[in-house]
Amino acid sequence: MSESTTGLEQRVAAFLAEHDPAGEAPLEFLRARFDAGLAWVWYPEGLGGLGLPQHLQPVVDAAMERAGAPSNDPGRNGIGLGMAAPTILAFGTEEQKRRFLRPLWTGEETWCQLFSEPGAGSDLANVSTRAVRDGDDWVVNGQKVWTSGAQNARLAILVARTDPDLPKHAGLTYFLCDMTDPGVEIRPLRQITGEAEFNEVFLTDVRIPDSQRLGAEGEGWRVANATLNNERVSIGRSAARESGMIGVLARTWREHPERRTPELHERLLRLWVEAEVFRITGQRLRQKLAQGQPGPEGAAMKLTFARIAQQASGLELELLGEEGLRYEDAQGWTMVRPEKVDFTGRDAGYRYLRAKGNSIEGGTSEILRNVVAERVLGLPGEHRVDKDRPWKDVAK
């Protein structure tokens, strides 16, 4: 056991001796854990961390779990923890880091992502939402779409166009938007599962202080790319063996021996091996991330995650036959606004339908293949006629 691991275990033990998980209010416990540097150990001191290597985080998490410590419920604030936090850490001012990171980690403030638009989904740089400077504020007008969790979010990461005279990638700026401000309207979008995880968000004369601009004016594309790389790593993150959809499929296989056939068995084994390769590759990627910011390799992880999830949920449906067609959790197909997304829970019918979105959210598989081809494999990029033209002159 390394000296750093031993020291960290001692630090956690001392913290738990001072803060009893059973006797302290959950929120106060989480705040104290953040202040002690035991939230993200690889973050700097004073910002929830200790400046230690990221691979030591499981030491803290395992000790907290054994002690029955309260969780910050990461499934409820995945966008905040997986996307907003690392972007704020990388590009935020000291004031922004101290204002936003603590309530983000404790779950006091949940986040959503105002990136995609009706005309700027796969081509994110084509966003038309405008932000115009007005004194110490920016006035924002536009429409965003496919915004997961906006109905529960207090804050949002937002990309808007601040200079239409520049080419589309150059005229963007990145903001932190308060979703409770006047002019923010949220409308649900019902999806194939019958739920409404997603929303369209209308911004009408929303005033954002310049102090909530993240990065320099015109640097929005660079900041947004850091967010997207973190998003793809977060979505494509692998955990323990037989976790995720492949674990659900393996459990169903074991519970229904009467449904097994040689052909289904062979397909299951192929998927299981691919899922194991995906998991091990994820470990290697996390080791690389511990040395710096995520790169385009996260696109490959997210691509693989989507494919395995869709194939595994489809195979489970075949295995279950008619039983798999039941969708008992639809609650009469009344529209539900979930607090968090459950990719692997519920019944097989829900899993099959929900997995269809895995190849769209967080970047479509088609676009991610371009990212891998150009930025990982070094292949020639597609010809882009609008790359160097002012955005206002490009046909819409």
What local confidence, expressed as pLDDT, does residue 249 receive?
95
> Which of 310, 288, 168 has its CA nearest to residue 244?
310
Residue reference for tokens 């929005």: 220
> Which of 274, 272, 265 has its CA nearest to residue 300?
274
Annotated catalytic residue: which of 109, 197, 200, 231?
Answer: 231
Residue-wise pLDDT for 351-379, tens only, equals 998 999 999 887 889 988 988 888 888 89
> For the packed helices 244-255 and 262-289, what is the interaxial angle rounded to 10 degrees?
150
Name the fold adopted by 111-217: Butyryl-CoA Dehydrogenase, subunit A; domain 2 (2.40.110)
In this predicted structure, the answer to whether residue 238 has a pLDDT above a threshold of 60 is no
Residues 6+ apart with CB under 8 A from 261: none
Residue-wise pLDDT for 107-146, tens only, equals 999 999 999 999 888 788 999 999 999 999 999 999 999 9
What local confidence, expressed as pLDDT, does residue 212 receive?
98
Q: Alpha-carbon distance 18 to 274, whole Å?
A: 45
What local confidence, expressed as pLDDT, does residue 337 receive?
85
List alpha helices for 110-186, DSSP H.
Answer: none
Provide the β-strand partners of residue 157: 113, 176
What would be the CATH architecture of the domain defined by 224-376?
Up-down Bundle (1.20)
Structural contact between residues 253 and 319, judged by C-beta atoms closer than 8 angstroms? yes
Over residues 44-51, the mean pLDDT reads 96
**Binning pLDDT at 50, 70 and 90, where does residue 282 land?**
confident
Q: How far is CA 103 from CA 61, 81, 95, 109, 110, in A?
A: 19, 11, 14, 6, 8
Phi-psi region of 20 (alpha: psi -120 to 50; beta: other; left: phi over 0): beta
Whether 111-217 shares its CATH topology with 224-376 is answered no
Q: Indicate the domain borders of the chain.
A: 1-71, 111-217, 224-376
Residue-wise pLDDT for 151-162, tens only, equals 999 999 999 999
Question: Is 3 known to be catalytic?
Answer: no
DSSP run (H or E) holding 313: helix 297-320
Residues 6+ apart with CB under 8 A from 26: 70
What is the DSSP secondary-structure string of 201-243? Answer: EEEEEEEEEGGGEESSTT-HHHHHHHHHHHHHHHHT---STT-
